[in-house]
Structure 1
Amino acid sequence: MTELVTLDQFDRKLLALVQKNNLRPARELAEAVGLSESAVLRRLRRMRSEGVIVADVAVVDPAVAGEVVSIHVLVSLERERSFDLDAFIRKIRQRPEVKKIWYVTGEVDFVLLLRLPGMDHYADFVDDVFHADENVKSFKTIVAIREIETGGV
């Protein structure tokens, strides 16, 4: 189980800022939260070492990168033994169209977020991944009309 880390108001303010732009200079972060640059750098280093900040990433605009269709897929498997779950996850992780994977409770087993150039690419994905896997019982496709930003990450 993951160990919880205690975060104070300064840590939370820093996290909110670096989640929006992790390239912001320490000087600007310090001004925004009311700490010295060295204190800001120390806190960020601590949060990285404690696993609060797990990655510094680039957020890619899917449309500019040629991934104009966002699709969520709800997947149900025939069997949920450890071996079967691991095999499905390994296969899905190898697909570049799959941007996020959630193993969930309820009526389905997985929720996938795909980004693709078009629906013809999704048809190929369906054939290669779902129809070719005897352990995929069913899947339901939800195509996003428009992504609405919330301001959070």
Structure 2
Amino acid sequence: MPENIPIDAADRKLISLLQDDARRTIEALAQACGLSASATQRRLQRLRDSKVISGEIAVIDPKRLGTRITLLVELELERDRPELMPALQDWIAATDSVQQAWQITGRGDLLLVVVTRSIEEFDGLAERMMEDNRNIRKFTTSVALKTLKRGLRVPVGD
């Protein structure tokens, strides 16, 4: 795991700008941060190398690709089978429909955010999930009726 690096006000501004629009040019970022283009490029490289910036992706509206359903799937695991956890984590990582996965406290053990084209597609996914992962005791699914907010923006402070 990379160690934390010191983050100053210019880094915070740069991170905030990138979270708004990662397509900005180095020159536009530099101007907004009050830095030279070369200093901005060096800061960006340091933030990427240290994994403060872990990736830059296109955010897609699933509805624009056709009918999409977002589901929140809470998994309860067999507590006496911790040796099966790596296989489940690999399955989650390899399954494109699983957008996010969180280990949680409370009633369940994991919470998955899943996007599929239909309930029927989710049924097939759920069936494979249970067949491939014997440490899942049960799961509970909630269908998202409306997206109120979607994002991965991290508050960077001042």
Tell me the TM-score normalized by structure 1.
0.88
Match of 1:62 in 2: 62
Q: Which amino acid aligns with 1:65?
A: L
Partner of 2:156: none
> Compared with structure 1, are the counterparts of its residues 133 and 48 closer, same or farther at alpha carbon in structure 2 (3 Å cutoff)?
closer
After TM superposition, give the deviation of residue 70 of structure 1 in Å. 0.8
SS in 2 for 1:84: helix
* Counterparts of 1:24 and 1:123, CA distance in 2: 41
Tell me the secondary structure at the aligned position of residue 60 of structure 1: coil
Q: Flag structure 2 segments of 5+ consecutive residues without an equivalent.
A: 154-158
The equivalent residue for 1:123 is: 123
* Change in CA separation of 1:40 and 1:138 when aligned onto 2, cut-off 3 Å: same
- Say yes or no: does 1:15 pair with 2:9: no
User: What's the offset of the Cα at 1:79?
Assistant: 3.0
1:92-116: CA deviations, max 9, x gaps? 2222211111122332111111111
Please list, as runs of the form range in 1=range in 2, the aligned pairs for 1:25-104 lying within 5 A after superposition: 25-66=25-66, 68-79=68-79, 81-104=81-104
1:151 deviates by: 6.6
Q: 1:105 to 1:2 in 2, by over 3 A?
A: farther
Equivalent pairs, count: 153
| Aligned equivalents of 2:27, 2:140: Cα separation in 1 | 48
Could you tell me which amino acid in structure 1 is paired with residue 79 of structure 2? R
Runs of 4+ displaced beyond 6 Å:
none
The unaligned stretches of length 5 or more in structure 1 are: none
Query: Could you say if the C-alpha distance between residues 28 and 80 of structure 1 is closer, same or farther in structure 2, counting changes exceeding 3 Å?
Result: farther
Let me know the Cα RMSD of the aligned residues: 2.1
Give me the identity figure in percent.
Answer: 32
Query: Do residues 108 (structure 1) and 143 (structure 2) align?
Result: no
